[in-house]
């Protein structure tokens, strides 16, 4: 029973608790997170590791006035539990429940919707400067993980943050996945001492008076100064932070609530930039998560049976299919080299790395640099395959343009999590890849409908002399599609579509894995006497113009279907092709993700339904389009009296 947690309505309720009670609260929070993530899935290990630090922050600071910014934000579950969201925490990542990331619509304590790395420090710098200009004394805290600190944007923020002439605290959460281990109790003591006003006073006094002593003053000061710098250089691996203008404090034990609160209260009053290095254990409180922090970073729902922890499997995923396909490709072509940006597990490259350890690179949370590395490899004759989440490739837009497209290099981009992603919500949806990649010269865009087509995509990609991108969703791989008369999946031919089903009442042009939803819709419509043709587009660029022309020349409704924003997406490509061919586009209906609204977190199936691109939504859109077509046809058959026109051509009838 969570006796203390149930009493916490806001962070103010923490400040009357004893250290012992805060320790008990930490354990209650850990159990609450394990229970909920076990049922719903979500980010587990990182949240278990940050419990004491989050509690201490909310005790030492008043974030109803002060400002707390999270980097990435997947480790903010404890923060949510302490800021009034415990009551519906059971619905974490489900529709109507709390998001898995900070969300401005949930709480005033969440300052930004975040989910990408490296952003907290520069955003905090902006807030600090703005608050100073407005005369506010609000403290500003940026909390960043050791993996995120390698992101270039984070260092750009540090470069600016060191120039601030006010309180500014950056906390580096080192969870044993990088940087350096804690140095024990002495480090805690030294950290507190270095942060204290007394230490600053001593430094100022020595600086001011020692050089003034006759004969020995200046030499003694210089010797002490050089000695101090030498010791710091020898024993501190974090000189870079102080060179950037930050006072470095730490490392300190991130699980000692009492010491953390004392230290944070001191740092709250320090009027210059400080970087606090906190050492935590990822997965603390769950032995299985400590032992396998990567596996339990963001697990599916799981259950604990005795000493065994079983993570539920929903079947064969697109990620697994991609990994197997790439391994097979690499066995037959020594030029294949796989790259990812801090997502080896999420993209399946961990499996590839076990087979080809010398042909796989994890570039860290640095998508821009990873793309540039791929470009360099390609330039000397390798065939790099960049496996990156669709939403994260946005961060490397310029590198894709300058280092890949402009150089005409055949880098292969494999975009996992393309389209709606379920529980991770708007910060991870792959809304935009078709839109921004389609504008690049000679970029080929492909989307497979099943695993056999994914293999075919990769085979074609290896033959291309231009860059290409292959997109696939966060979902299970559907069964292999075979059209009537097919005994196997046809190979991919550049810019050619594939007819899956014939029908005379409407045509569905489908891009990617939604072919299965379209086929299910067609089956239900057939029971109603509506026969729908289905074309698997396969390509968004170059688009199959012959397919577009054949579909539109019938005059019947043509519906484009994509798991992507309709702004600049596949449907827009169809419209552009039709216009260039001089075809009437009024029969085209575009189905996809909304342009000016974000699709909230929830199950992927519910999100598809919300956007009208599941089987039921597609069927409803076809019925509506066919009904309008019949109404228009009826109108053209009935002569309507019109006033005489003087030299004007009558309006063209709607068909």
Q: Which residues are catalytic?
A: 282, 367, 395
Residues 80, 86, 92, CA angle at the centre, nearest 5°? Answer: 70
Q: Which of 289, 293, 290 has its CA nearest to residue 309?
A: 289
In whole angstroms, how far apart are CA 86 and each of 40, 75, 80?
15, 15, 7
Q: Do residues 84 and 107 lie in contact, with contact meaning Cβ atoms separated by under 8 Å?
A: yes
Q: How many residues does the chain have?
A: 655
Rounded-to-integer distance, Cα 370 and Cα 63, Å: 36
Per residue, the 3-state secondary structure of 154-181, as one string, reads HHHHHHHHCCCCCCEEEEEEECCCCCCC
Rounded-to-integer distance, Cα 61 and Cα 46, Å: 22
* Cβ count within 10 A of residue 632: 16
Q: Do residues 447 and 414 lie in contact, with contact meaning Cβ atoms separated by under 8 Å?
A: no
> Helix 120-133 vs helix 152-161: angle between axes, to the nearest 10 degrees?
30
Q: Do residues 154 and 71 lie in contact, with contact meaning Cβ atoms separated by under 8 Å?
A: yes
Q: Which of 556, 155, 132 has its CA nearest to residue 369?
A: 155
CA 48 to chain centre: 21
Contacts of 272 (CB under 8 A, 6+ apart): 164, 165, 166, 167, 168, 247
Strand residue runs (E) in 112-156: 140-145
Q: What is the three-class DSSP state of 278? A: strand
Q: Which two tokens stand for residue 494?
A: 């550049």
Rounded-to-integer distance, Cα 374 and Cα 164, Å: 37
Q: Do residues 558 and 530 lie in contact, with contact meaning Cβ atoms separated by under 8 Å?
A: no
Q: Which of 428, 459, 429, 431 has its CA nearest to residue 446?
A: 459
């Amino acid at each position: 029973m969570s006796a203390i947690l149930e009493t916490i309505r806001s962070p103010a309720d923490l400040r009357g608790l004893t250290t012992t009670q805060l320790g008990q609260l930490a354990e209650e929070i850990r159990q609450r997170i394990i229970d909920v993530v076990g049922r719903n899935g979500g980010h587990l290990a990182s949240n278990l590791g940050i419990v004491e630090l989050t509690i201490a922050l909310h005790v030492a600071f008043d974030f109803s006035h002060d400002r707390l910014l999270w980097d990435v934000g997947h480790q903010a579950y404890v923060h949510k539990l302490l800021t009034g969201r415990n009551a519906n925490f059971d619905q974490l990542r489900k529709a109507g429940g709390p998001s898995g990331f900070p969300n401005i619509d949930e709480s005033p304590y969440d300052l930004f919707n975040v989910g990408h790395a490296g952003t907290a420090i520069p955003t905090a710098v902006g807030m600090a400067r703005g608050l100073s200009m407005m005369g506010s004394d609000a403290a500003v805290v940026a909390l960043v993980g050791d993996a995120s600190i390698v992101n270039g944007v984070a260092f750009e923020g540090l470069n600016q943050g060191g120039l601030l002439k006010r309180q500014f605290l950056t906390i580096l959460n080192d969870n044993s996945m990088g940087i350096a281990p804690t140095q024990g109790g002495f480090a805690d003591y030294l950290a507190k001492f270095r942060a204290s006003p007394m230490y600053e006073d001593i430094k100022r006094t020595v600086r001011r008076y020692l050089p003034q002593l006759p004969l020995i003053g200046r030499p003694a000061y210089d010797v002490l100064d050089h000695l101090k710098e030498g010791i710091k250089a020898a024993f501190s691996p974090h000189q870079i932070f102080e060179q950037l203008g930050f006072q470095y404090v730490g490392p300190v034990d991130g699980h000692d609530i009492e010491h953390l609160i004392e230290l944070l209260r001191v740092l709250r009053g320090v009027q210059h930039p400080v970087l606090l290095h906190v050492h935590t254990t990822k997965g603390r409180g769950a032995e299985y998560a400590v032992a396998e922090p990567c596996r339990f970073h963001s697990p599916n729902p799981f259950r604990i049976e005795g000493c065994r922890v079983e993570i539920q499997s929903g079947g064969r995923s697109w990620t697994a299919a991609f990994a197997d396909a790439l391994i097979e490709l690499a066995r037959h072509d020594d030029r294949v080299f796989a790259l990812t940006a801090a997502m080896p597990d999420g993209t399946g490259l961990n499996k590839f790395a076990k087979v080809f350890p010398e042909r796989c690179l994890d570039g860290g949370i640095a998508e821009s640099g990873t793309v540039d590395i791929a470009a360099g490899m390609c330039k000397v004759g390798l065939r790099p395959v960049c496996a990156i989440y669709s939403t994260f490739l946005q961060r490397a837009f310029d590198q894709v343009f300058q280092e890949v497209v402009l150089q005409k290099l055949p880098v292969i981009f494999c975009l996992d999590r393309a389209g709606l992603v379920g529980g991770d919500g708007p910060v991870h949806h792959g809304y935009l890849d078709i839109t921004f990649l389609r504008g690049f010269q000679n970029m080929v865009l492909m989307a497979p409908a099943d695993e056999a087509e994914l293999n075919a995509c990769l085979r074609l990609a290896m033959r291309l002399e231009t860059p290409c991108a292959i997109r696939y969703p966060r979902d299970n791989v559907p069964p292999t599609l075979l059209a009537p008369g097919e005994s196997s999946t046809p190979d991919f031919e550049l810019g050619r579509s594939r007819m899956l089903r014939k029908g005379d009442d409407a045509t569905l042009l489908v891009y990617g894995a939604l072919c299965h939803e379209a086929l299910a819709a067609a089956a239900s419509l057939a029971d109603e006497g509506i026969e729908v043709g289905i074309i698997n587009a396969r390509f968004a660029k170059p688009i199959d113009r012959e397919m577009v022309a054949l579909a539109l020349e019938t005059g019947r409704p043509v519906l484009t279907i994509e798991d992507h924003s309709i702004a600049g997406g596949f449907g827009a490509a169809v419209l552009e092709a039709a216009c260039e061919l001089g075809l009437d586009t009024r029969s085209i209906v575009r189905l996809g993700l909304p342009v000016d609204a974000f699709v909230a977190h929830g199950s992927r199936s519910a999100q598809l339904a919300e956007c009208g691109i599941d089987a039921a939504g597609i069927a409803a859109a076809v019925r509506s389009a066919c009904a309008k077509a019949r109404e228009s046809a009826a109108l053209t058959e009935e002569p309507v009296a019109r006033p005489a026109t003087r030299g004007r051509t009558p309006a063209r009838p709607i068909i």
